[in-house]
Structure 1
Amino acid sequence: MTGLDDEGEDVLWNLTATGPAERSQRRRAVRARVEVPVTMPWSDGMLSGHTVDLSEAGLRALVDGWGLPPDNGAKIQVGVDLRERTVHLRGEIVRQTVQGPRWLLSVRFLDVPEGDSDSLRRRVFQALREERAAAE
């Protein structure tokens, strides 16, 4: 039972769990596990792959690597295919992990234009709705 007991001087809340505990998001931007194509020009070539998760503030992407991976702090251009359109953003490598011939790159977006931010947010919330519907 959920309710408020305020008959005395002290206020007492009576709470009941309504479902399983979920991880909270302690980020400025909501992120979702969503797989969309990405491209990143790198070292006279083009890295291509897909996102592992996405938010309006950045992404983690698994790309086919070759040569040396970008260092943390490296500035990079990122193309993200959101179905309705592709956004081209400036980013900074936050972390990289080499997984054999593939690289897992964490990228923080820099100076995202408002229209691109809206498109990213729309895609993130669409993925969250799809995930919730699949779980029901």
Structure 2
Amino acid sequence: MLPGAELPLPRALVDVVVGGVVVTGRVERLRPTGLVVELPGALPPGDGVELYWNGADGVRVVPARVVLCWTVRTGVRVQLVPSGPAEAGNRRDAVRADLRLRAQLTERESGAVFLGRTRDVSETGLRCLLSPGPLAPTTGAEVDVGLTLRGAVFPVPGRLHRVSPDEDGWDVVVAYAGLCASMADLLRAQVFAALREQRRLSLR
């Protein structure tokens, strides 16, 4: 591995891009020579790939080479060795899943409440379609989003990053802010499960 190479941490969701095809997986562990990623299918050893993930300062990308693959109960694990330094990436769809979850968004300062459903969810934020009402959501407002997951409502703190009018209401993007570790783990697991199911259906 390159000395001081920047890599995603264990359990992080990643996009592996090979030959123009994007496969989403999860980092299982770091090794002195690179990292091990679990994917839904195998990659040929020797292939060059690009690895995208959400870092502290936005999306990051690092080139890597496949050195080993082996099958496990939940998929295929691939050992990757970085072949260059990490750089800023610009893939909006990196580690983002289409998920339709019931959501209640409350602006902390005004107390305004909006109901709707998510359109997609990632490790760093979510996009919602909110039902129309007498008030418009406020761009930049601090909010609490109640997400219905596994039959229960979980609080997700954040900030309204973008608000756009939609023919069915308001299309909003919420960036998480101050998310606790347990909630981050739950959202990560939900996103990963949804991406695996989407991948399974695409292979039918």
TM-score (norm 1): 0.75
Identity across the alignment (%): 31
Matches within 5 A, 1:121-136: 121-136=188-203
The answer to whether residue 100 in structure 2 is matched with residue 35 in structure 1 is yes
Report the equivalent of 1:70. Answer: 137
The answer to whether residue 130 in structure 2 is matched with residue 57 in structure 1 is no
Structure 2 segments unaligned to the other structure (5+ residues): 1-17, 24-50, 56-93
SS at match of 1:118: helix
1:75 Cα deviation from its structure 2 partner: 0.7
SS at match of 1:67: coil
Structure 1 segments unaligned to the other structure (5+ residues): 1-17
Report the equivalent of 2:170. Answer: 103
Report the equivalent of 2:21. Answer: 21
Q: CA RMSD in A?
A: 2.4
1:40 Cα deviation from its structure 2 partner: 1.1
Query: In the alignment, is the contact (CA less than 8 A) between 1:30 and 1:55 conserved in 2?
Result: yes
1:26 Cα deviation from its structure 2 partner: 6.0
1:52 Cα deviation from its structure 2 partner: 0.6
1:81 Cα deviation from its structure 2 partner: 1.3
Q: Distance in 2 between matches of 1:129 and 1:57?
A: 19
Report the equivalent of 1:87. Answer: 154
1:133 Cα deviation from its structure 2 partner: 0.8
Relative distance call for 1:86 and 1:95 in structure 2 (3 A) is same
Alignment size in residue pairs: 119
Instruction: Work out which structure has the larger RCO, using CA pairs closer than 8 Å and 6 or more positions apart in sequence.
Output: 1
Report which of the two has the higher share of helix: 1
SS at match of 2:139: coil
Q: Distance in 2 between matches of 1:96 and 1:62?
A: 10
Report the equivalent of 1:5. Answer: none
Query: In the alignment, is the contact (CA less than 8 A) between 1:95 and 1:106 conserved in 2?
Result: yes
TM-score (norm 2): 0.52
Query: In the alignment, is the contact (CA less than 8 A) between 1:38 and 1:78 conserved in 2?
Result: yes
Q: Please identify runs of 4+ aligned residues in structure 1 that moved more than 6 A.
A: none
